[in-house]
Homo-oligomer: A and B are copies of this chain.
Amino acid sequence: MPKQTFFNLPFAKRRSIEEEAIREFAENTFERASLTKIVENCGIAKGSMYQYFEDKLDLYLYIVELAYEEKKKYVQRAFETPGHIFETLEEYYRQSLIFSLEHPALHKVTNNFWDSRAGHLGETIHRLRAARALDFTAHLRNAVDQGVVNPALDPEAVFFVYHAVGKALIDQFGEKVDSAFLSQVLDVLKYGLKARKGAAL
């Protein structure tokens, strides 16, 4: 959590610090990112930064939270619009894609976050993942009850697959992954590799 001093700052100065920090954490992992470079690019003194934040990690977590709050504005639409699980999933990833196009730097920040291994970040990430797994499997059980989803599959395994593929998709938004490719990938998960008896797709 930033110190009060940071929030007392005139808006423009505060914003410029945020922007430079976003730039640095978008291009580098937490460990490789350089506080020294951030303060140089802001034109403020090193010591000032420590008037605003406890340490590098404090700044980082603040920036990550900023990024996720922006992203939330996009992806939450997926859970508001009704529909079954396939539509929700498609909408979720589609909104993520839009977010990545409209806020490329913030998108990179959220992305790098999951690769962090420094300090206690590993545990934090683990907890976040577990929370997501609970959410996901709840949705999934619902869909199974509705007869939409193959009941023979292990929910944990399904989450594992979606988590892995979701991360890979998001990693490559804007590079290899566009809207059409996104649909193709989701179809693979939906229909599975094995040829189907009835209509294949």
Contact = CB atoms under 8 A, between A and B. Distances in A.
A192 B192 CA distance: 3
- On chain A, which size bracket covers the interface? 35 or more
25 contacts: A85-B193, A149-B194, A150-B193, A150-B194, A150-B195, A151-B200, A152-B187, A152-B201, A153-B187, A153-B188, A154-B187, A156-B181, A156-B184, A157-B184, A157-B187, A157-B188, A160-B165, A161-B185, A164-B165, A164-B167, A165-B165, A188-B189, A188-B192, A189-B189, A192-B193
A192 B195 contact: no
A127 to B, nearest CB: 15
A163 B165 CA distance: 9
Given A86-B194, A168-B164, A181-B157, A152 B188 contact: no
A70 interface: no
A185 B200 CA distance: 21
A182 B169 CA distance: 21
Contacts of A47: none
A32 B198 CA distance: 53
Contacts of A158: 188, 193
Contact of A149 (B32, B157, B168, B193): B193
A197 B197 contact: yes
Interface in A105-147: 115, 147
Given A147-B195, A160-B188, 20 more contacts: A149-B194, A150-B192, A150-B194, A150-B195, A150-B196, A152-B200, A153-B187, A153-B191, A156-B184, A157-B181, A157-B185, A157-B187, A160-B181, A163-B168, A188-B189, A190-B192, A190-B194, A191-B194, A192-B193, A198-B198
